[in-house]
């Protein structure tokens, strides 16, 4: 379960949005990535999620490299994520005519 805010400073045309989502981990079968589950995320949000819902996926090629995608009833976003160390994620995402980069650090407890 995750909750969050996109565009916290309210600087983009879409404006500040709040969201809540549930992620399901899906087991992988194979010799090389069976210890890294795929993920399916379903959620709801405000403002930029005009119709409220979104769905996303993450498919690992290895523990350090993943392919990502999201559909929010308005646009499709796809990209890659590299995880060089535990908790650190570097993403590049492609959306129509735009490219986004992000850096995040997560702690799970």
pTM, two decimals, is 0.70
pLDDT tens digits, residue range 5-40? 888 898 887 788 888 999 998 876 666 656 778 899
Segment among 40-49, 54-63, 96-105 with least mean pLDDT? 40-49
- Residue 77 and residue 94 in contact, taking contact as beta carbons nearer than 8 Å: yes
Q: For residues 55-82, b (16+ Cβ closer than 10 Å) or e, as one string? A: ebbbbbeeeeebebebebeeeebebebe
pLDDT tens digits, residue range 70-87? 998 778 999 999 999 989
Joined tokens for residue 44: 């709801």
């Amino acid at each position: 379960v995750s909750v969050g805010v996109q565009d916290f400073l309210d600087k983009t045309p879409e404006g500040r949005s709040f969201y809540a989502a549930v992620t399901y981990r899906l087991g992988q079968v194979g010799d090389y990535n069976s210890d890294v589950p795929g993920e399916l995320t379903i959620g709801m949000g405000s403002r930029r999620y005009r119709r409220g819902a979104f769905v996303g996926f993450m498919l690992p090629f290895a523990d350090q490299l993943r392919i990502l995608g999201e559909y929010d009833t308005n646009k499709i976003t796809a990209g890659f994520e590299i995880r060089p160390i535990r908790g650190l994620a570097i993403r590049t995402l492609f959306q129509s005519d735009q490219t986004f980069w992000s850096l995040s650090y997560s702690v799970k407890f």
